[in-house]
Amino acid sequence: MNSTSRSICFVGADNYPVLNPDYQNHYIGGESVQQTLLAKAFVDLGYDVSMVVTDLGQGDAEVIDGIRVYKSFRPDAGIPVLRFIHPRFTSLWQALKRADADIYYQSCASVATGFVAWFCRKHGRKLVFRVAHDTDLMPGRQLIPYWRDKKIFEYGLRHADLIINQSQQQQDLLRENYHLEGPELNMVVQLPEPDDAYARDIDVLWVNNLRPFKRPDLVLELAEKLSELRIVMVGGACHGQEDLFEEIRQRAERVGNLEFKGHVPYQEVNAYYARSRIFVNTSDSEGFPNSFLQAWVRGTPVFSFFDPDGVIKRGRLGDSPDGVDQMAEMVRDLIRDSGRLAEISAHVSQFALDHYSPGAVALRYHELLQSLPQSGC
């Protein structure tokens, strides 16, 4: 399909390690994975695709998988307080100018949302903002540390030309809290390679960056209740949460059936999903975790305390227990019923392929972008 040669720039500070495996020891979150998968799908649609990322020492304007990558600031550059303006704002602005796209795509509530919105208004470009976490749309509860930055984000949200939601819940929050409207679009999943075949030697898998709202402590409790099963935890320390990481690591060592792997490079994580019989999520709340898709497409059902828009129960993709006791009971029952587990495994894999393939989701984005007025530049 020809995009009529429109160009799109994805703005994601942490995207570069997803594109370049040589940097895989740097932080990678689900949102970085989503942006990068979608960017590659836009390349396949015929768009001129670029990306703005932080400076990790790589070259500028290099092309990876058809995406031209511009770097902005180094995360540690500048004088505290003053670096908000320089180099962070100034270098981001310059990178956006070098990208020179018709459409800029930014996701996850941050000060960058406001910066990109201001750039787009000044230069007559279009901004697409995609909601990541439900708290993005809860005033005062955004995962943004400073009041100033929250207000800059809200400026960006109100001046976005298109706001994409992951769920009906997010559509409702957007309407109730900001009096704005935006469509709901599925996320995209990285499709398995044809020869990705692994033995299911892990009973229960948990994958997340370790942060308080992800509730890694509940995995320890679950492992103790499922002492007959092999349980694996994968997840690195987030900035500012190093003490939590160390606490969980030490506690995990005392649980005999629990293996704590710590940080695993993004390019190696999918093998863990393919090797697992069941995936569990213990977060208090999220948007729509990328990990759900990574598990489903590899035939691994999901058990999670939260169920975005009821998709897990409605789609028969696992279950949503009320607490650790019920989760342990549900997991044990399914592990013991190999026939039912095999049936659910085949079903969740096909469901992911039918609803979250990059090409189909990118095509829906393309249709929405075609409805936006062309920029005047």
Q: Per-residue pLDDT for 284 more than 50?
A: yes
Q: Is 313 exposed, middle or buried (0-12, 13-18, 19+ CB in 10 A)?
A: exposed
Give the chain's mean pLDDT. Answer: 92
Instruction: Kindly report the pTM of this predicted structure.
Output: 0.84
Q: Structure tokens of 28?
A: 């990678």
Q: Per-residue pLDDT for 306 more than 50?
A: yes
Q: Per-residue pLDDT for 377 more than 50?
A: no
Are the beta carbons of 53 and 70 closer than 8 angstroms? yes
Beta strands 276-281 and 302-304 are parallel
d(CA 137, CA 157): 9
d(CA 65, CA 35): 14
d(CA 278, CA 296): 10
Q: List pLDDT tens digits, range 69-121.
A: 999 999 888 888 888 888 889 999 999 999 999 999 999 999 999 999 999 99
Q: List pLDDT tens digits, range 194-215.
A: 766 789 999 999 999 888 889 9
Q: List pLDDT tens digits, range 222-236.
A: 999 999 999 999 998
pLDDT computed for residue 250 by the predictor: 94
Q: List pLDDT tens digits, range 40-75.
A: 999 999 999 999 999 999 999 999 999 999 999 998
Domains in the chain: ranges and CATH: 7-188+357-370 (3.40.50.2000), 202-355 (3.40.50.2000)
SS3 7: strand
